[in-house]
Structure 1
Amino acid sequence: MITKHLPRALIYGILLIAALFFLAPLYVMLATSFKDAAQIRSGNLLSWPNSLNFESWQLAWSSACTGVDCRGLKPYFVNSVIMAVPAVLISTAWGAINGYVLSLWKFTGSEVLFGFMLFGVFMPFQVVLLPMSQVLGYLGLSSSLGGLILVHCIAGLAGTTLFFRNYYTAIPKELVNAARIDGAGFWRIFFRIVIPMSTPILMVTLIWQFTNIWNDFLFGVAFSGADSKPITVGLNNMANTSSSVKSYNVDMAAAVIAGLPTMLVYVLAGQYFVKGLTAGAVKG
């Protein structure tokens, strides 16, 4: 009986150790964010705070300095929300249409076009910084939230197209052909047949895009202006701001605030992400 249950116990033990290993940094950040300066200097890194002190959270949100700007992370957080929400929705919708065309409405050269689009999945983003900055300059979108939205839509298009195209190849073509015989056109088939069947891959793509866009630093630091910096740039500026005494509790609170939206997304919708992947998001 002991031998029978040993493999399962061993698996659970390994998973528990892995979970503790990956959760340890989050614990350190949370514990440090609730400590005051005296406890940080005298205590242990892993010790729990004597009392929950929310002053560092308030400072990180509304009054901590990022360079010469002492408004905390709030304006950067708002910028990230304004940038991420439309960028995620547009890139997901755009990828869904592309995947629909490339899988169910194939045309001459569609496979070649899809192959070229795949280059965007593997291309380092550093390669496109200069041409993207030139395009944004031509469009008058340099150093603006609109420019960041456009950059993230284009950068994420190859990945979203790949997700949807591979998912839609599993849809029986007879279903689409039957709808066409009944007189349904391109958009009616898309909205009445394909989209209702796309819930798993929609969840995968939305979560994937939101995580990538919210956590992005490269495009944020390269294409943002003084009033359009996302939260990752604000967090970096806050951590690198020189002061007489380093406020580790404020920095840790700021780091948790910056990562909180993506953590909430995975906690609330993580099961849909796993179901979407197993339903065919990376199949084909």
Structure 2
Amino acid sequence: MNTLSSPLKSGTPSRAHRRRRRTGFTPARLGVYAFLLTAALFFLLPLYVMLVTSVKPMDEIRLGNLLAFPTHFTLDAWSAAWQSACTGLDCNGIQVGFWNSVRIVVPSTILSIAIGAVNGYALSFWRPRGAGLLFGVLLMGAFIPVQVMVYPLVRVLASVHLFSSLPGIVVIHTIFGMPVMTLLFRNYYVSIPQDLFKAARIDGGGFWRIFLQLMLPMSTPIIVVAVIMQVTGIWNDFILGLVFAGTKNLPMTVQLNNIINTTTGERLYNVNMAATILTSMVPLAVYFISGRWFVRGIASGAVKG
């Protein structure tokens, strides 16, 4: 006697049949798709306008058709933005700001990550006296507005002759990046089993030996996250570079502002758009190239606490 009745005979739809029915378009799913499409247009439409404007001659731009494709495609605006656009009295293009930003970003990123990694390691495993108080100060320092500390830092850097210099702006970015980097590395190292650290101590490992030979090789996911955060944050900075870098070391964002606000007769919108895209290419490239490792770093405990 068959005690199990078939789903089709009993009139109850099978699980596979219900799953097939759920894959159809429902009002909720249509709403999600509509929201995603709207969000994509919201972010991509300005980029599209910037791209098409940067490859149009000024004669077409004067017609006022922002969304129209260029009739005469040209890259002259890109060449002018890079090589000959005026940033005040100098007309050397935005390439000067690009190399200034590179000289600022590279040492600032390395120093802030190195110091943050050591601090996070010490706060997570070694537990020095006053570690809780220090962690609270770092947590508070990570959320202090930059504008509050500009004037005191100007006075301090001026007293040690680092104001308006490349080492001065590197020190500033290192200081402002250290609290966030310390929190990231501390939260990452806390997720590592304590038994691993204790075993290294039993084997005779000291503070630096455990950090360099054990912890640092395991820190690739969080280092990638830290590099992405620091490179994009420092590259996109405006106020710190404007105040502390000096006229000879102005970063790309400040040079972009100077190009847009410098006019000698007609405002060249195609050159401005090309300069804007050139300024944003480095953060975009970092996200597109290392986005997968960024997600891995977060999934590996980079933001656990």
**Normalised-by-shorter TM-score class:** over 0.9
Q: Which amino acid aligns with 1:5?
A: G
1:142 deviation in Å?
A: 1.2
Report the counterpart of residue 243 of structure 2 in structure 1: 222
CA distance in 2, matches of 1:27, 1:105: 52
Q: Which amino acid aligns with 1:36?
A: P
Compare CA radii of gyration and give the structure with the larger one: 2
Report the counterpart of residue 121 of structure 1 in structure 2: 142
CA distance in 2, matches of 1:92, 1:27: 35
1:67 deviation in Å?
A: 1.2
Q: Which amino acid aligns with 1:56?
A: A
1:261 deviation in Å?
A: 0.3
Between the two structures, name the one with larger relative contact order (CA 8 Å, sep ≥ 6): 1
SS of the aligned residue for 1:42 comes to coil
Q: Which amino acid aligns with 2:53?
A: T
1:3 deviation in Å?
A: 4.6
SS of the aligned residue for 2:142 comes to helix
Q: 2:166 aligns with which of 142, 145, 149?
A: 145
Give the paired residue count.
Answer: 284
Matches within 5 A, 1:212-251: 212-251=233-272
Report the counterpart of residue 83 of structure 2 in structure 1: 62
CA distance in 1, matches of 2:77, 2:71: 15
CA distance in 2, matches of 1:242, 1:195: 50
Structure 1 portions without partners, runs of 5+:
none
Report the counterpart of residue 112 of structure 1 in structure 2: 133
Residues 135 and 175 (structure 1 numbering): CA distance in 2 closer, same or farther, change over 3 Å?
Answer: same
Q: Which amino acid aligns with 1:120?
A: G
Question: Which range moves more in the overlay, 76-85 or 187-196?
Answer: 187-196
Report the counterpart of residue 191 of structure 1 in structure 2: 212
Report the counterpart of residue 94 of structure 2 in structure 1: 73
8 Å contact from structure 2 (residues 57, 72) kept in 1: no
Q: Give TM-score, length-normalised by structure 1.
A: 0.96
CA distance in 1, matches of 2:207, 2:37: 50
CA distance in 2, matches of 1:97, 1:247: 48
CA distance in 2, matches of 1:191, 1:90: 16
Question: Which range moves more in the overlay, 20-29 or 144-153?
Answer: 20-29
Q: Percent identity?
A: 49
**Superposition CA RMSD, Å:** 1.4
Report the counterpart of residue 191 of structure 2 in structure 1: 170
1:112 deviation in Å?
A: 0.9
CA distance in 2, matches of 1:110, 1:25: 47
Residues 167 and 221 (structure 1 numbering): CA distance in 2 closer, same or farther, change over 3 Å?
Answer: same
The alignment status of 1:267 with 2:288, answered yes or no, reads yes
1:12 deviation in Å?
A: 4.2
The Cα offsets for residues 99-135 of structure 1, whole Å up to 9 and x where unpaired, read as 0000011122101111011111110000110111112
Report the counterpart of residue 8 of structure 2 in structure 1: none
Residues 11 and 200 (structure 1 numbering): CA distance in 2 closer, same or farther, change over 3 Å?
Answer: farther
Q: Which amino acid aligns with 2:233?
A: N
1:46 deviation in Å?
A: 1.1
The alignment status of 1:93 with 2:110, answered yes or no, reads no
